[in-house]
Amino acid sequence: MSENPDLAPKGSFILIMVFFASFVLFYLLNWKQLAAIWHVG
């Protein structure tokens, strides 16, 4: 990675964080749906 701060891939870092957030949200929504459909106990 370049030491020049202008060349640091800041935009990609933000996009990857959006990707991770989407991942977590989708994962939670699916667990929530599973919990709603399949009651345990």
Partner 1 sequence: MAAKSEKFRTCPTTGFKIHGPAETLIQINAVTAIVFLLVGGIIGLALALTRWQAIHLLNDTLFYRLLSLHGIAMLVAWIIFFEMAILYFASAVVLSARLAVPWLGWLQYLLMLVGGAIVAVQILLGNADVMFTSYVPLQAHHLYYLGIILFAVGAILGCVVFFATVVAAKTEGAHTGYLPLVTFGAAAAAIIAIGTLSHGAIVFIPTWLWAAGLVPMMDVEVYRLIFWGFGHSSQQINVCAMVAVWYLLGTLTVGSVPLNEKVCRSAFVLYILFINIASEHHLLVDPGLSAAHKTWNTGYFMHLAVLASMIHAFSIPAAVEVALRKKGYTKGAFEWLKKAPWGNPGWSALVLSLIGFGFLGGITGVVYGTEQINIIAHNNLRIPGHFHATVVCGTTLAFMGITYYVLPLIFRREVAFPQLAKIQPYLFGIGMMVFSTAMMFAGGFGVSRRSWDMNGVESAFAVDFGPVVDIALAIMGIGALVGAIGGALYCVIAVATLLIGKKINA
* Binding flag, residue 23, partner 1 (CB under 8 A): yes
The DSSP symbol for 8 reads S
Q: What sign does the CA torsion over 13, 18, 21, 22 have?
A: negative
* Binding flag, residue 40, partner 1 (CB under 8 A): no
CB 41 → partner 1: shortest distance, Å? 15
* Binding flag, residue 34, partner 1 (CB under 8 A): yes
Residues 22, 16 contacting (CB under 8 angstroms):
no
Chain contacts with partner 1 (rule: CB under 8 A): 1-2, 6-7, 9-16, 19, 22-23, 26-27, 30-31, 33-34, 37-38
